[in-house]
């Protein structure tokens, strides 16, 4: 079907069947094409579109990996950035797939290179799926509501989640999904303009359920947490799926980490940069806690819209 073409080429396909847009699972055989009809597929790969909208190439590697702690105070509390978040809270429409659950923490997940190798080619999305994805989501769902946030279009996110079997899995539920329209652009003193994923959009819309104390976000790009670094965990990117699928255990390890911190009252006191050291010897010690706490404590709290 069309999903296979999307996964293999990374181009989102729009075809028409009987005058209406074809569904993703429509096969070419039912499109009533005339014999010997030649088919030409034209389009721009999704990552190419992302690259065109991203910062200039000479900044990419530096921006993705820069230490956000030095600039965060200047960025996260800036009035114009908080105003952008307020506009997203007011104008961005979220489709609730499954209602938020009382007493659950929030896990926000990136897609590309976090759950899925979006640049390799394969027959199906299952071949590009990060190992232990469904086991990870099943375990996380016990303690966390799960939100997907990708810097792509909603149609592409929906296609990926369907192909990976995430949106239809009976062992866990996705609360809602956010696309690039929920992001904001901020100016950093050293790096210029960068696009980020402000969790304040979620907290502003669903403050009765989620806040800075019960939220954690996984992303392979560190700049995406620039407005809320105390809540971000930079995951190792999953690339070259065919070579790495048998040895990548990132989600397996992170599943244990999420389980261990789920009992804490305040996740914002943790330094997720050192997540692999947490509880490595059967529970964290006072020394561990001192390592984890503090670096954000000296920072003034951002004004998040409620």
| Domain presence at residue 300 | no
Three-state SS string across the chain, please? CHHHHHHHHCCCCCCEECCEECCCCCCHHHCCCCCCCCCCCCCCCHHHHHHHHCCCHHHHHHHHHCCHHHCHHHHHCCHHHHHHHHHHHHHCCCCCCCCCCCCCEEEEECCECCCECCCCCCCCHHHHECCCHHHHHHHHHCCEEEEEECCCCHHHHHHHHHHHCCCCCCCCCEEEEECHHHCEEEEECCCEEEEECCCHHHHHHCCCCCCCCCEEEEECCHHHHCCCHHHEEECCCCCCHHHHCCCCCHHHHHHHHHHHHCCCCCHHHCCHHHHHHCCCCCCCCHHHHHHHCCCCCCCCCCCCCC
pLDDT score of 274: 82
| Domain presence at residue 21 | no
pLDDT score of 69: 54
| Domain presence at residue 10 | no
Which pTM was predicted?
0.71
Domain that holds residue 144: 46-292
| Domain presence at residue 23 | no
CATH of the domain at 150: 3.40.50.1000
Q: Number of structural domains, the chain?
A: 1
pLDDT score of 283: 46
Mean pLDDT by groups of 10 residues along the chain of 306 residues? 58 55 67 72 56 44 47 76 97 98 97 81 71 95 98 94 94 98 92 93 98 96 91 87 78 95 94 82 42 38 40
| Structure confidence by residue, pLDDT tens digits, 27-53 | 777 777 777 776 666 555 655 555 544
| Domain presence at residue 16 | no
| Domain presence at residue 221 | yes
| Domain presence at residue 39 | no
| Domain presence at residue 254 | yes
């Amino acid at each position: 079907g069309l999903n296979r073409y999307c996964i293999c080429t990374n181009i989102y396909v729009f075809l028409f069947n009987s005058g209406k847009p074809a569904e993703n699972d429509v096969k070419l055989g039912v499109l009533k094409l005339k014999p010997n009809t030649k088919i030409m597929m034209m389009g721009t790969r999704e990552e190419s579109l992302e690259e065109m909208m991203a910062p200039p190439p000479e900044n990419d590697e530096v921006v993705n990996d820069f230490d956000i702690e030095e600039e965060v105070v200047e960025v996260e509390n800036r009035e114009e950035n908080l105003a952008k978040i307020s506009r997203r809270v007011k104008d961005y429409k979220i489709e609730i797939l499954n209602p938020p659950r009382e007493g659950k923490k929030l896990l926000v997940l990136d897609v590309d290179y976090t759950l899925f190798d979006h640049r390799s080619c394969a027959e199906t999305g299952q071949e590009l799926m990060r190992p232990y994805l469904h086991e990870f989501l099943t375990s996380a769902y016990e303690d966390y509501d799960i939100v997907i946030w990708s810097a792509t279009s909603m149609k592409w996110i929906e296609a990926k989640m369907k192909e990976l079997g995430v949106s239809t899995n009976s062992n866990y539920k996705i609360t809602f999904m956010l696309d690039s329209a929920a992001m904001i652009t901020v100016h950093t003193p050293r790096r210029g303009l960068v696009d980020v994923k402000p969790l304040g959009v979620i907290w502003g819309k669903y403050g009765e359920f989620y806040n800075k104390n019960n939220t954690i976000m996984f992303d392979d790009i560190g700049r995406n947490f620039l407005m809320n670094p105390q809540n971000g965990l930079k995951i190792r990117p999953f690339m070259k799926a065919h070579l790495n699928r048998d040895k990548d255990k990132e989600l397996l390890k992170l599943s244990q980490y999420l389980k261990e911190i789920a009992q804490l009252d305040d996740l914002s006191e943790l330094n997720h940069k050192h997540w692999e050291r947490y509880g490595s010897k059967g529970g964290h010690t006072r020394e561990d806690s001192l390592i984890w706490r503090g670096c954000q404590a000296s920072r003034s709290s951002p004004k998040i819209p409620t």
